[in-house]
Amino acid sequence: MSRWVGSISRTAFILGGIFAAATVLANSPAPAKGDRELGEHLSSMCTACHQISGRMSGGIPAIVAWPDEQFIAVIQSYKDGTRDNETMRTISHRLSQEDIEALASYFGSLPAPKAP
């Protein structure tokens, strides 16, 4: 009987650990899809206008620390014509999906600027 109880205790312990690990994974941010190094390499085409400091400049929004999904959606909206900006449309048409995901990963990894 004690052997059977011990087996149940071990099983409950293992299942508890699996549940705890699943909870941690479910509540963790999803890993970035894009190649961060490629994004850093491509970033100069963005930082020519968008400040790497994360500050808005002359009506040009900051793009650092954006969630990947938001960055990708915004670039796609320029690419498909939903958003209208000739410069952004031109740049977005040059980018593959891999490039967009890489840029999202890179800019998303940068820290948000501290409030002045």
Tokens of 53: 């400091």
Q: Tell me which fold the domain 32-116 belongs to.
A: Cytochrome Bc1 Complex; Chain D, domain 2 (1.10.760)
**What is the structure's pLDDT at 1?**
53
Nearest alpha-carbon partner for 48 in 37, 38, 58, 33? 58
Q: Which residues of 30-40 are buried (b: 16+ CB within 10 A; e: fewer)?
A: eebebbbebbb
What would the pLDDT profile of 42-85 be if each residue is shown by its tens digit? 999 999 999 999 999 999 999 999 999 999 999 999 999 999 99
Q: What is the pTM of this model?
A: 0.71
